[in-house]
Amino acid sequence: MKWLLVTAALTLAAVARGQSRTPQGLPVTYERLLQATQEPGNWLMYGGDYRSHHYSSLNQITVDNAHRLRARWIYQMHRPKVETTPIVVDGIMYVTRPPSDVIALDAETGRALWTFEYRLSARVYTCCGEVNRGLAILGSTLFITTLDARLIALDARSGRLLWKREMADPALNYSATAAPLAIKDKVIAGIAGAEGGIRGFLDAYDAKTGERAWRFWTVPAPGEPGSQTWGGDSWRHGGASTWTTGSYDPELNLVYWGTGNPGPDYNGDVRPGDNLYSCSLLALDPDTGKLKWHFQFTPHDTRDWDATQVPVLLDASLGGRPRKLVVVPSRNGFYYVLDRQTGEFLLAKPFVKQTWAKEIDKKGRPVLNPGQEPTPEGNDSIWPGVDGGNNWMSPSYNPNTRMLYFNAREERRRFFKTDAPEFRPGESFFGGGGGGGARFRPEESWGKLIAMTPETGEIQWEHRILSPPWAGALATAGNLVFSATPSGNFYALDARTGKELWRFNGGDRVFASPITFLSRGKQLITIPIGDLLIAFGLD
């Protein structure tokens, strides 16, 4: 009887603190994924939920007690550039490490339960490190894309390989780094390699068998819609990779996925036209892969401004009319609001200094400023830089404050172009570059976390940081926003004002997004800092 009373009291306390369900463990059904926000003690997919809010309703850690956060455990990755976002299912954390390994950790202690170590099948060309950004779960199966362009399925209980499918040939410069997205009975998986001259695509695979269900080529072949936007044979190496995880609206049954730069990156002379569907947001039917609509942020891009930002789905009133929106702080420096049902362009506003566009016109097309292209001698007048005003790191939307939080990069960089490259397996396909880090002054290279009213693009407050960040944001119901700086400082802000409440020096650069979950009823927060995955909780 006494035990029952204690259990009841603990359950009530858990409900009050946001843990409103009995732990179910595996399997994680599609129905559970649809209701991911009802399981705040878990983190069930890359973006937190299908809308990619990257938000948690957990409220044990608050504005009032965040100063009591302490490191609870560390898991040593022993790998550089950890970009992963873990998944947490009732006390078990599944996390990837470069290049393509998966580890199951006890979320309470950080101790490893099993390790799946993937051996690459081939030498792989990569532009930007041997990274991996996470995994998906459906049922009792984990899904990960590998650096050598495979999609593999693992038994979440043992780490045993269930199946492996080649998405593309890594010898032709294909690689894969994005966390897949599980929808219904399929796994959606993106590809990488636009810097190596691939032709991009987005795939869906049967979750049970691994058979490919559909492929959407992000660069159309001659005769297909959009092919007129490519000159000559340039489509063959047109890039438009899909290397960041998208979002999903179950009501509209549309998956939203961003695409990368066209190839060659900086020399657009050989690919006259808009180069669809590069630098675009795609809305696809997840059952068939059919394109419902697309929106291109940067037509004929020559500055490597991939549109592989995480699209955030939210509903708001615009002009007195309720709208289903998808919002994107784009790498090109403009914040965009689109109608996610139709793709209609609604709004664009710069959120960093930008020099390349006079404005975005009423149809959403940029009106270009002259002199903002890469040149043979180098053009160092262009803002934002090659890594953009924003990049792949996760934004976060708090439905209580109704604010969108994301990191922004203020940078000027030198863009140059070379002769158009020949495609060669194992080699880059840049046609120029966008480097020049050391030559610019501190005021030409810095960062900020932005709090924005998403339906208007109005910035509410900014939190300045020393150099351009690569970390995602996490908002919680404790009225907190967490993020991190390239100098290794992990910090918490008051989500309403931007006031800093707590920080921790992790001592290395951060290329990842924080998440939060419950372990034994207590809220923890993790983030990779350098090659360490660190968990924080209240003392």
Q: How far is the CB of 467 from other proteins (least distance, A)?
A: 9
Marked catalytic residue, from 148, 249, 304, 306: 304
Residue (319 or 442) nearer to other proteins, CB: 442
Helix or strand holding residue 12 (H, E): helix 2-16
Q: With contact defined as beta carbons under 8 Å apart, do 452 and 312 qualify?
A: no
Task: Look at residues 456, 295, 298 and name the one whose alpha carbon lies nearest to residue 366.
Answer: 298
Among 226, 289, 432, 472, binds other proteins (CB under 8 A): 432
Q: With contact defined as beta carbons under 8 Å apart, do 133 and 470 qualify?
A: no
Kindly state whether residue 210 participates in binding other proteins, applying the rule CB under 8 A. Answer: no
Among 24, 38, 158, 288, binds other proteins (CB under 8 A): 158
Q: How far is the CB of 190 from other proteins (least distance, A)?
A: 20
Q: With contact defined as beta carbons under 8 Å apart, do 508 and 486 qualify?
A: no
Q: Any idea what DSSP says for residue 65?
A: T
Query: Cβ–Cβ contacts within 10 Å for residue 152, how many?
Result: 21
Counting Cβ atoms within 10 Å, is residue 479 exposed (0-12), middle (13-18) or buried (19+)? Answer: buried
Residue (397 or 405) nearer to other proteins, CB: 405
Helix or strand holding residue 397 (H, E): strand 396-398
Q: Which two tokens stand for residue 360?
A: 């975005």
Q: With contact defined as beta carbons under 8 Å apart, do 228 and 460 qualify?
A: no
Window 69-108: residues binding other proteins (CB under 8 A): 76, 78-81, 101, 103
Taking CB under 8 A as the binding criterion, the range among 237-245, 325-333, 356-364, 408-416 that sits at the site for other proteins is 408-416
Task: Look at residues 301, 209, 211 and name the one whose alpha carbon lies nearest to residue 260.
Answer: 301
| Cα–Cα distance, 124 to 127 (Å, whole number) | 10
Q: Give the contacts of 433 (CB within 8 A, at least 6 positions apart).
A: 266, 386, 415, 416, 418
Q: Any idea what DSSP says for residue 66?
A: G
- Contact map string, positions 3 to 22, toward other proteins, x by CB under 8 A: --------------------
**Number of residues binding to other proteins, judged by CB under 8 A:** 68
| Cα–Cα distance, 512 to 392 (Å, whole number) | 9
Kindly state whether residue 484 participates in binding other proteins, applying the rule CB under 8 A. Answer: no
| Cα–Cα distance, 473 to 179 (Å, whole number) | 17
Residue (185 or 373) nearer to other proteins, CB: 373
Among 11, 26, 114, 538, binds other proteins (CB under 8 A): 114
- Contact map string, positions 370 to 389, toward other proteins, x by CB under 8 A: --------x-------xx--
Among 11, 435, 460, 508, binds other proteins (CB under 8 A): 435
Among 180, 197, 329, 434, binds other proteins (CB under 8 A): 434
Handedness of CA 523, 327, 272, 285 (dihedral sign): positive
Reading across the β-sheet that carries 522-529, which strands appear in turn? 69-76, 532-538, 522-529, 515-519
Among 177, 332, 485, 523, binds other proteins (CB under 8 A): 485
Q: Is 304 a catalytic residue?
A: yes
Kindly state whether residue 512 participates in binding other proteins, applying the rule CB under 8 A. Answer: no
Kindly state whether residue 416 participates in binding other proteins, applying the rule CB under 8 A. Answer: yes
Kindly state whether residue 128 participates in binding other proteins, applying the rule CB under 8 A. Answer: yes
Residue (138 or 386) nearer to other proteins, CB: 386
Window 260-279: residues binding other proteins (CB under 8 A): 265-266
Taking CB under 8 A as the binding criterion, the range among 34-42, 247-255, 271-279, 415-423 that sits at the site for other proteins is 415-423
Q: Is the peptide bond before 272 cis (omega within 30 degrees of 0)?
A: no
Relative to beta strand 474-476, strand 55-56 is: parallel
Kindly state whether residue 67 participates in binding other proteins, applying the rule CB under 8 A. Answer: no
Taking CB under 8 A as the binding criterion, the range among 50-58, 346-354, 397-405, 485-493 that sits at the site for other proteins is 485-493
Kindly state whether residue 465 participates in binding other proteins, applying the rule CB under 8 A. Answer: yes
| Cα–Cα distance, 212 to 203 (Å, whole number) | 7
Among 439, 456, 458, 521, binds other proteins (CB under 8 A): 439
Active site amino acids: 304
Enumerate binding residues for other proteins (CB under 8 A): 76, 78-81, 101, 103, 111-121, 123, 125-130, 152, 158-161, 164, 195, 265-266, 378, 386-387, 413-414, 416, 418-419, 421, 424-428, 430-439, 441-442, 465-466, 485, 487-489, 503, 505
